[in-house]
Each structure stands twice: as C-alpha cells, then as structure tokens.
Chains A and B, each alone.
Chain A
Amino acid sequence: MRLRIVEDGVRTTVEQAIHKSLTACLQCSKCGGGCAHTEEFDLTPRQVVESLLDCQDDKVLNSRTIWLCGKNCTGCQAVCPVGLPLNEINAVLREEALARGIEPKYQQPSLVYHKFEHCAKHRGEGEASESIFRGEA
C-alpha cells in the first residue's frame, strides 16, 4: 500500500508533550534492537517515529505497539543517541487513541501496560519486566 505523505498530524501534539522535535531522530534503529517487547510490536519504535514524521496518524494510532510499550520503561531512551523518550511518545499516542475512541490493542489483558494501568498488585511485576532491559545493559 502506498502511503500518502502529509504534514499535519498528531506529530505536533507529541512534540509539544516531549519538548523535542522528532527530527532529532538519527534513523539508526538502536531503540528497537534492544527493546524487551519488540517481538510483540507491529511497528518498531523507529517505525513509530518515522510514521509520525510523515503524519501517518491512523497507522500509528491503530498499532499494537503504542499499547505494548512499557509505561515507565526508559530502556531505549537510555541508549538512544539523542535520548528520544519512546515511552513518553507512546503514552501521548495512547491518550490520543483513546480520545479518538480507538480500542486498546493487546493480545492478553495481562501484558505490562495493562498491569501498570489497571492492577496495583501486578505493578511490581510490571516494573521487574521493564528493568530487564536496564539489568542487562
């Protein structure tokens, strides 16, 4: 499918929220290489950034990735050469998706994001799984 590139979209909201321009991205893909959740993603973190840059809003807001990205995870931000906060970007996108009535997409209701959001009991577990990245780093 050929995508039509446009200039207006949710990108602006994201950039305002993180106080950074997405143009800082070096297109290196280091973020996706080490992410503990990347195997469940449908878009790699780098593809989220790329799609945002060309304002492919529907594609990003309907992706599974934005729901699976760990809420407090800083795994990729810590190694990103320009420190782009993917977790914050995806948090903004989740809010935006909800505001547009898009249903959350995660395969099992017990995945990390869900644990964080809905179940205090699992919060510790969720955090432990987030720290795998940092632990190995």
Chain B
Amino acid sequence: MSKKTLVIGGGIAGITAAQKIAQNGGEVILIEKEAELGGNFAKLAFTFPVLGDAKALVAKEIDAVKSAAGVEILTYTTLQSCQGSAGDFTVELKSASGTRSENVAAIIVAAGFHYMEPTAYTEYSYGRSKNVVTSLEFEKMAAENRLPQGKARVVFVHCVGSRDKAKGYRYCSKICCSYSAKHAIMMKKANPQSLNYVFYIDIRALGKGYEEFIRSAMEEYNVRYIRGRVAKVIENEGKLIVRAEDSLIGNPVEVEADLVVLASAMEPPEGSRELAQVLGIATDEYGFFQETEANVRPVNSSKPGIFLAGSCTQPMEIAASVAMGGLAASEALTLIK
C-alpha cells in the first residue's frame, strides 16, 4: 500500500503541510492548479502585524518545499476523481500532459480562498471608477510602486461583502481590519504626505500584537478611524466623495478622496463544492470545507483520511494557515506509519 500523501493547493497551508510530512520521512504529491506555488500570500507586498517582506517570506518557503526530499510538485494540476478510503485512496490527477493515477494513504485539502469581486456594490462605484480598488489590488499597487503621490487622501472601507446578509456573506472575514490598518500604515510610509482614513463598524483584530498594531496606525501614523459603514462613493470630476455617518456623533460626514480601498470578503475557493463532491466531503453553508468538530478536530473533514488546512475552511491569516498545515501533516503521518 502507498505511503504517499496528496496535498491539494500550493498556498502557504499546502506548502507547510508538504514540508512537515517530508521532514518526517513521508512522501508527498503537491498539486497546484496555477503555474506557481505561493497562492494569495505571493500576491501580498507586506504582512501584518509586523511589516514583513511578503515576497521574501513566501519565496523562502517555496524554495524549502521545492528542495525537500520526497516532495513531488505538479503545477497546472487538479484532482479528477478519488476512490477508496483512509490509507488506500486511488486518485486521478489531471495536468496539461494528461491524466495519471496514483495511490495515496491520505489527502490534505488546502485549496485556499477566493477574493470577492465587489461588483454588487454599485454604491461604492466599484468597476466604474478606476480609483476605487480592492485591498488585494492595493497590495499589487504597493508592490509595483503605484500608490498615490503627493498630498493624496486615501479612504479604506471595512466590511465590503462581509457582515452583509443582503449582498454578501453573513460572516466576518476576520483579518480585513488588520490588513486595512497595514495598508494605511504602508500608505503613510510610502508617502508621508498622504492622509489616511479608515471607516469601520467595529475593529476586530485578535492576535498577538494586533491591537498594538491598530493603535500604532492611529497614534504613530495618524490614520483617522471613523466609526460608520460607508454608505456611498461618488465620482465627481476625478475626485471621489465618500459619504458615511460618524456614528459616534450621529452626524453625516463626507471626505474627498483620491483613492478608495475596499476590504472585500474572503470567500470559498472557486469550485469548492465540486472538489468536495469529488472527494466525498462536506462543505458549510457558504462552500468552505467543513470540519467534523471545530474545537479539537479542526483539520478533520467529514471523511476519515481526508484533512483540511488553511483558508479553505474559513477566512484566516497566514499564521493560522501554517498552524493548520502542520496539524494536517501530523494527522496524515498517522496513516503512513
């Protein structure tokens, strides 16, 4: 019987799982549907809560998994079918060169998240104004040195698509409060003349150093936090007018901005329900992969032998994805002994 583990998804969760299995003498087939490993981490410029160089951090992990003995990496590859049970799965992998069949003992699903295109938010002029972008686009702008110059005003909008039963998802995307603070700090560092505003409902930044990070945005980088969900963004002669209510004083307010950044929702990866069907595992009401028990079995899917890691289970930060990758690896290792 095989002693291999199949890891689906080459983001930081899948990379970590593959590394840990290899370090413990196991064999891994890591499949990634895109051309490169790294997933969404590779699209970031910096990380919170300490501004780390995202590209360098992820490159180091990609190099480590590529040079690990016992890890075979297949890019442009997806899972076609899956039969069998824990310890003895037969999987069919499809890549550009054709399909191939493999026998594996365990499977780790690390398919990550998809970033919502907030096209439903016409009130924010998204898609209509080139100066209204998503936070993921902001990361790209930062990495390519395309942030606004001079005395520019930049407005960061929380909870776009999250905490919105009507047009998005009921859940909170967990980390956008933190990465919006990161973006405001990045903006101020890249352009000290810039004036930065964050509109929030409440600030959710839970983790070691996160509260201090948010406070530093306000106190050291002079980011103005206004409590109220933005109601609309209007484009007027090249300028953007952002309207909201400052709910702490109960008054409508207006800010003229050069750039508006929408913290959109982290949603389940594309095709998650189809992938779940191929594997025979459960998803939740949104399409994230469902764990059997959230407290003590966070990486166990509804089927023995198939484990879950990272943001394909819920919105989460890099550190949590790494932790889940490690735990999923140790669960997989129990099946190859």
Q: B-contacting residues of A (Cβ < 8 Å)? A: 26-35, 38-39, 43-44, 46-47, 76, 79-83, 136-137
Contacts and interface: CB of A to CB of B under 8 A. Distances in A.
Contacts of A29: 201, 227-229, 244-245, 247
A33 B252 contact: yes
Contacts of A39: 252
Given A30-B231, A81-B229, 8 more contacts: A28-B247, A30-B228, A31-B245, A33-B231, A44-B250, A44-B251, A79-B231, A83-B166
Contact of B166 (A27, A34, A43, A81): A81
Contacts of B250: 32, 43-44, 46-47
A28 B201 contact: yes
A30 B230 contact: yes
Given A26-B201, A46-B245, A33 B165 contact: no
9 contacts: A26-B163, A29-B245, A32-B231, A34-B232, A39-B252, A46-B247, A81-B229, A137-B122, A137-B123
A80 B164 CA distance: 8
A83 B165 contact: yes
B141 interface: no
B164 A33 contact: no
B276 interface: no
Given A44-B250, A47-B250, A137-B122, A33 B230 contact: yes
A79 B247 contact: no
A30 B166 contact: no
Contacts of B243: 33-34
Contacts of B165: 81-83
A30 B229 contact: yes
B167 interface: yes
A128 B231 CA distance: 20
A76 B229 CA distance: 12
B159 interface: yes
A34 B167 CA distance: 17
Contacts of B252: 32-33, 35, 38-39, 44
B163 A33 contact: no
B29 interface: no
Interface string B47-80: 0000000000000000000000000000000000
Contacts of A35: 231, 252
B231 A81 contact: no
A81 B247 contact: no
Contact of B245 (A32, A81, A137): A32
Interface string B219-242: 000000001111110100000000
Interface in B237-280: 243-245, 247, 250-253
* From B122, B159, B247, residue with most partner A Cβ within 10 Å: B247
Contacts of A27: 201, 247
B166 A82 contact: yes
A44 B166 contact: no
A26 B169 CA distance: 13
Contacts of B227: 29
